[in-house]
């Protein structure tokens, strides 16, 4: 346990970590700016412990769900897992499959809708088809990362004689879905404090409850040991980071433990994907998940073959894991090509709207539904506005994805557009919706009005781009970089630190990439140099060579090449003159 003392004779806090080292003043200043100031908060942030996770008993309906599923395991009755095609959904599906395998319950199937043909979530017709002629009374349907708004489909499931357990984390509708048990920290009368759990996080708490129930029923024997749930935390970490939920205390504990699990004893599937992606799994960072692993897992669902992601995540064969990881990499390359084509068209349409719509961006057309969210994210990055990409999905219907910026809650904004929406769902930063083609003009107007209203009430306090002004030479000292890793994982609610070096000297400046859009360089670091990479900064190449007076905004980043790990500077922007 960390020992934290305050030296009352000085203004500087003295923080001692488990290894006996003192936390650098730089780290303490950064934590202070992020509102992490008390002794207890500093301790929990820098060295989170699984024992500090919230009590599962606080989650509404967990006992009900555990009883239903636990009895199904004991009686060996059928269980159907209804998943989702994104990373959160596929990791949650995989977690449940691996858990049931660990407790020797083999009467389990799973189904993930084809994104291109069926769309999102629990659907009546798909459920009828999957159920077929099965008429067993004692069978269970478990949704993961979906189902909180599936009123009609749940009613159909009940007619098909399922006991229904909903596990979800999306914002619940006003009327509660009529399932036998509903697990969602955001629902009313749920005392669970970790309101920002991802879908896989909720699934993890479900298996905690089921395991506890089975223990009470003396299910485990000398021939069947109680499963150690830590083995599933690698999936929780990947799904949580990929879904961009807020990294509050609960999620931070889960992700840190998951990263440690991957480093020590990762599954064959995750290990193979790390190797194929040239990532050092023994020191995995949140950016490795967000920008390398997650896109490859996600690509399978985006192009209608999410089962391949589940196959990899549950695979126990090294040879098969290598084959599946290669397949996901190939699928992701196909996804990239589709994204580039759609993004070019979307950017052209978006530029024509700049005058008409001041607070948002909505584009519509023959876009690929599987990459709509990625295209929307790129529009947000380019125009700094909440963006919606709508795709033609059958005669007279648009379906799409939205991404947001700080200060605009998408779910709230879409709630104010309900009069023209067939349906919608999601959370603060990401959402989906469907509407009639004829209602597009009205939707654009309503959405722009809704986002503009939120902008008026936004103080901007959430946007803290710069953490500290510190030179590369000062920061790139081994003990400082080591302690910066304690601030992992980064993501929503705990962004990657950004530093400013007001005076740098570049060497070996090169434009790289297929379209030469990136910048590779080296930066003088005292008596040595440190490598740097600036994504999207290729056009600054000549100016970097000619201008003498320059600084940078940057973050430290780990590079892994030919089995060797090294720190590099990720240049966010180059500041010229007095910039």
The backbone torsions φ and ψ at residue 468, rounded to the nearest 5 degrees and listed phi first, read: -155, 155
Q: Across-strand partners of 553? A: 500, 573
As a whole number, mean pLDDT of residues 548-563 equals 85
Is 399 contained in some domain? yes
* Nearest residue to 214 via CA among 72, 43, 318: 72
pLDDT value at residue 463? 43
- Looking at the predicted structure, is the pLDDT value of residue 323 above 90? yes
Q: Indicate the pLDDT class of residue 200, thresholds 50, 70 and 90.
A: very high
Q: Which of 400, 434, 456 is the last residue of a domain?
A: 456
Same domain for 425 and 473, yes or no, is no
Is 575 contained in some domain? yes
pLDDT value at residue 355? 60
- Looking at the predicted structure, is the pLDDT value of residue 564 above 70? yes
Is 345 contained in some domain? no
pLDDT value at residue 135? 65
Same domain for 298 and 421, yes or no, is no
As a whole number, mean pLDDT of residues 195-221 equals 97
Same domain for 237 and 140, yes or no, is yes
More confident: 37 or 184: 184
Q: Which two tokens stand for residue 488?
A: 């992992």
Q: Which of 400, 430, 456 is the last residue of a domain?
A: 456
Residues 6+ apart with CB under 8 A from 27: 46, 483, 484, 486, 487
Other residues' Cβ atoms within 10 Å of the Cβ of residue 14: 14
DSSP string, 371-412: GHHHHHHHHHHHH-S-EEEEEE-STTEEEEEEE--TT--HHH
As a whole number, mean pLDDT of residues 519-533 equals 85
* DSSP classification of residue 104: T
Whole-angstrom Cα distance, residue 27 to residue 481?
A: 10
Q: How far is CA 510 from CA 250, 505, 541, 559, in A?
A: 43, 14, 7, 18
Rounded (10°) angle between helices 294-302 and 307-314: 140
Is 347 contained in some domain? no
Q: Which of 436, 456, 476 is the last residue of a domain?
A: 456
Residue carrying structure tokens 């009205």: 442
Low-confidence winner among 57-71, 317-331, 352-366 (lowest mean pLDDT): 352-366
Q: How far is CA 5 from CA 1, 28, 93, 508, 560, in A?
A: 13, 13, 44, 46, 37
* Nearest residue to 162 via CA among 181, 186, 138: 138
Residues 6+ apart with CB under 8 A from 431: 401, 402, 404, 410, 411, 414, 424, 425
Q: Mean pLDDT of all residues in the chain?
A: 90
As a whole number, mean pLDDT of residues 199-213 equals 98
- pLDDT tens digits along 25-74: 899 999 998 889 887 788 889 999 999 999 999 999 999 999 999 999 99
Is 89 contained in some domain? yes
pLDDT value at residue 11? 45
Whole-angstrom Cα distance, residue 136 to residue 161?
A: 7
- Looking at the predicted structure, is the pLDDT value of residue 188 above 80? yes
Is 298 contained in some domain? yes
pLDDT value at residue 134? 64
Same domain for 269 and 365, yes or no, is no
Residue carrying structure tokens 């449940």: 96
As a whole number, mean pLDDT of residues 490-504 equals 90
Whole-angstrom Cα distance, residue 533 to residue 86?
A: 29
Q: How far is CA 405 from CA 44, 199, 439, 455, in A?
A: 28, 22, 25, 10
Q: How many helices (H) and strands (E) does the chain have?
A: 20, 19
- Looking at the predicted structure, is the pLDDT value of residue 6 above 80? no
Same domain for 556 and 485, yes or no, is yes
Residues 6+ apart with CB under 8 A from 457: none
Domain count, the chain: 4
pLDDT value at residue 19? 83
Same domain for 77 and 169, yes or no, is yes
As a whole number, mean pLDDT of residues 162-187 equals 95
Question: Which percentage of the chain shows pLDDT scores above 90?
Answer: 68
Name the strands in the sheet holding 397-403, side by side, starting at the edge strand that comes first in the sequence. 361-365, 387-392, 397-403, 430-436, 421-426
Q: What is the CATH number of the domain that holds 374?
A: 3.10.310.30
- pLDDT tens digits along 215-274: 999 999 888 999 999 999 999 999 999 998 999 999 999 999 999 999 998 899 999 999
Same domain for 38 and 131, yes or no, is no
As a whole number, mean pLDDT of residues 122-142 equals 86
More confident: 120 or 78: 78
- Looking at the predicted structure, is the pLDDT value of residue 147 above 90? yes
Q: Which two tokens stand for residue 376?
A: 């929307």
Whole-angstrom Cα distance, residue 411 to residue 555?
A: 31
Whole-angstrom Cα distance, residue 513 to residue 336?
A: 14
More confident: 107 or 21: 107
Same domain for 176 and 316, yes or no, is yes
pLDDT value at residue 513? 84
Q: Which two tokens stand for residue 97?
A: 């499959």
Q: What is the CATH number of the domain that holds 502?
A: 2.40.50.460
- Looking at the predicted structure, is the pLDDT value of residue 10 above 60? no
CB 419 within 8 A of CB 406: no
Same domain for 100 and 206, yes or no, is yes
Same domain for 82 and 140, yes or no, is yes
Please write down the HEC assignment for all residues of 465-479.
CCCEECCHHHHCCHH
Same domain for 122 and 252, yes or no, is yes
Q: How far is CA 46 from CA 8, 24, 87, 489, in A?
A: 22, 12, 27, 10
As a whole number, mean pLDDT of residues 64-88 equals 96
Burial degree of 452 (CB within 10 A; 0-12, 13-18, 19+): middle
Low-confidence winner among 103-107, 147-151, 319-323, 489-493 (lowest mean pLDDT): 489-493
- pLDDT tens digits along 412-470: 999 999 999 998 888 788 899 999 999 999 999 999 999 999 988 775 544 446 788 99
* DSSP classification of residue 367: -
Is 343 contained in some domain? no
Q: 22 is in which domain, residue-wise? A: 1-44
As a whole number, mean pLDDT of residues 531-558 equals 89
- pLDDT tens digits along 282-309: 989 999 999 899 999 999 988 989 999 9
- Looking at the predicted structure, is the pLDDT value of residue 4 above 60? no
Same domain for 134 and 215, yes or no, is yes
- Looking at the predicted structure, is the pLDDT value of residue 7 above 60? no
- pLDDT tens digits along 370-427: 899 999 999 998 888 999 999 998 889 999 999 998 889 999 999 999 999 998 888 7
Q: What is the CATH number of the domain that holds 64?
A: 3.90.1640.30
Is 564 contained in some domain? yes
Other residues' Cβ atoms within 10 Å of the Cβ of residue 384: 11
């Amino acid at each position: 346990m960390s020992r934290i003392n305050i030296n009352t004779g000085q203004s500087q806090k003295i923080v001692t970590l488990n290894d006996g080292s003192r936390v650098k003043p730089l780290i303490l200043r950064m934590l202070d700016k992020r509102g992490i100031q008390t002794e207890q908060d500093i301790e929990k942030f820098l060295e989170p412990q699984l024992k500090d996770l919230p009590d599962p008993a606080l989650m509404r309906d967990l006992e009900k769900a555990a009883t239903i599923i636990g009895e199904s395991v004991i009686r060996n009755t059928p269980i159907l897992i209804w998943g989702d095609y994104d990373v959160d959904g596929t990791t949650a599906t995989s977690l449940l499959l691996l858990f049931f395998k660990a407790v020797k319950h083999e009467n389990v199937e799973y189904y993930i809708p084809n994104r291109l043909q069926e769309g999102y979530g629990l659907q009546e017709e798909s459920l009828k088809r999957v159920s077929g002629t099965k008429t067993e009374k004692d069978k269970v349907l478990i949704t993961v990362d979906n189902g909180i708004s599936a009123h009609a489909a749940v009613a159909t499931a009940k007619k098909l004689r399922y006991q229904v357990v909903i596990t979800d984390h999306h914002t619940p509708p006003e009327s509660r879905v009529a399932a036998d048990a509903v697990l969602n920290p955001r629902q009313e009368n749920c005392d669970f404090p970790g309101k920002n759990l991802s879908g896989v996080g909720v699934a993890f708490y479900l298996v905690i409850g089921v395991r506890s129930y089975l223990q009470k029923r003396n299910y485990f024997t000398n021939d069947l040991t109680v499963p150690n749930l830590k083995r599933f935390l690698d999936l929780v970490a990947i799904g949580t980071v990929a879904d961009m939920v807020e990294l509050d205390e609960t999620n931070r504990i889960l992700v840190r433990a998951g990263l440690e699990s991957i480093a020590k004893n990762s599954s064959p599937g995750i290990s193979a994907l790390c190797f194929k992606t040239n990532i050092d799994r023994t020191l995995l960072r949140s950016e490795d998940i967000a920008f390398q692993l997650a896109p490859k897992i996600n690509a399978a669902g985006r192009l209608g073959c999410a089962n391949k992601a589940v196959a990899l995540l549950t695979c126990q064969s090294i040879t098969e894991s290598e084959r599946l990881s290669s397949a996901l990499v190939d699928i992701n390359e196909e996804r990239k090509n589709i994204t580039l084509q759609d993004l070019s068209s979307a950017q052209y349409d978006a530029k024509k709207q700049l005058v008409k719509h001041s607070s948002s961006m909505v584009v519509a057309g023959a876009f690929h539904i599987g990459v709509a969210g990625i295209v929307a994210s790129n529009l947000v990055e380019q125009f700094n506005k909440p963006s919606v990409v709508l795709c033609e999905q059958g005669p007279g219907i648009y379906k799409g994805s939205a991404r947001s910026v700080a200060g605009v809650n998408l779910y709230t904004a879409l709630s104010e557009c309900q009069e023209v929406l067939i349906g919608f769902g999601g959370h603060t930063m990401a959402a989906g919706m469907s509407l009639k083609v004829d209602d597009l003009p009205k939707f654009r107007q309503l959405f722009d009005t809704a986002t503009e209203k939120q902008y008026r009430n936004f103080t901007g306090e959430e946007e803290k781009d710069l953490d500290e002004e510190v030179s590369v030479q000062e920061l790139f000292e081994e003990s400082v970089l080591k302690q910066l890793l304690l601030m992992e994982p980064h993501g929503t609610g705990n962004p990657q630190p950004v530093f400013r070096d007001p005076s740098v000297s570049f060497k070996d400046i090169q434009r790289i990439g297929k379209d030469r859009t990136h910048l590779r360089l080296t930066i003088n670091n005292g008596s040595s140099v440190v490598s740097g990479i600036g994504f999207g900064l290729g056009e600054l190449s000549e100016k970097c060579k000619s201008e003498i007076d320059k600084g940078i905004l940057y973050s430290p980043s780990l590079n892994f090449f030919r089995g060797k790990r090294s720190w590099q500077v990720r240049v966010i922007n180059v500041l010229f003159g007095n910039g």
